[in-house]
Amino acid sequence: MQKTLIPVAAAMLMTLGAGAARATDYDLGDLSTLGTSNTSVRWPSFPTAWRSTFQDVYTFSLDTFSDLKGFAFSVFGWDAAPGGGTIYHQVDTSKVSLYQKSGSGQFTQVGEVYLGAGETYSFASLVAGDYRLSVSGVASNSTITGQSYASSKVAGYDFRVQATAVAPPVPEASDFAMTALGLVGVAAWRRQRQRAR
């Protein structure tokens, strides 16, 4: 499934200013059924001297024990600046964080990946339930000459999340042996207490 999302209009970007933060939520639905979700997030224009942090949140559910993997791949834009030089519009994805919904309805962080050159991430052995995946980073507009210009060029990032059903881990023989040993120890302790009375 391919979706193209333009989360912020150009007029709104002009009001953000340097150092402002942006957050957008996307609902991916049931990933166990969907399997893979591909999303293109784009900034339609960049105001002058613009730099902004962002955090996009993708909510989804899993029906079965699963592994999760994907990427957040930056897409850059550039054009010629008035008077020479090059304008660079870049969206750097820096971190992917995973949160799981608890019985009380609160989301608790269960994993975090700092994105490197490959910009891939993975989370293994996730139980069925509701999750949030947070993608954060910095979007900026700058030039190699140190000057900044407004531009209508597009930049952003491509995001993929894929759920793969896996068999839940099977306890090993040593786990059963330790459990049995513990039960025997508890039974012996209780018997000794009863004799002492």
Rounded Cα–Cα distance for residues 193 and 8 (Å):
70
- The model's confidence at residue 146, banded by pLDDT at 50, 70 and 90, is low
Q: Is residue 80 part of a domain?
A: yes
- For residue range 74-118, list pLDDT tens digits in order: 877 776 666 666 766 777 888 999 999 998 999 999 999 998 656
Expressed as residue numbers, the domain containing 133 is 2-171
Q: Count the Cβ atoms, other than its own, within 10 Å of residue 72.
A: 27
Q: Is residue 103 part of a domain?
A: yes
Q: Which residue type, as a one-letter code, is found at position 14?
A: M
Burial class (CB in 10 A: 0-12, 13-18, 19+), 167: exposed
Q: Is residue 180 part of a domain?
A: no
- For residue range 40-50, list pLDDT tens digits in order: 887 766 665 56
Query: Collapsing DSSP states into helix, strand and coil, what is residue 64?
Result: coil
Q: What is the pLDDT of residue 25?
A: 87
Number of domains in the chain: 1
Q: Is residue 194 part of a domain?
A: no
Q: Is residue 183 part of a domain?
A: no
Q: Is residue 178 part of a domain?
A: no
Q: What is the pLDDT of residue 2?
A: 40
Is the pLDDT reported for residue 32 higher than 80? yes
Q: Is residue 190 part of a domain?
A: no
Q: Is residue 193 part of a domain?
A: no
Q: Which residue type, as a one-letter code, is found at position 134?
A: S
pTM (predicted TM-score): 0.69
Which segments within the chain are labelled E, that is strand?
2-5, 20-30, 36-43, 51-62, 66-75, 77-80, 86-101, 107-114, 120-126, 129-143, 155-165
Rounded Cα–Cα distance for residues 10 and 13 (Å):
5
- For residue range 12-31, list pLDDT tens digits in order: 333 333 444 567 888 998 98
Q: What is the pLDDT of residue 19?
A: 44
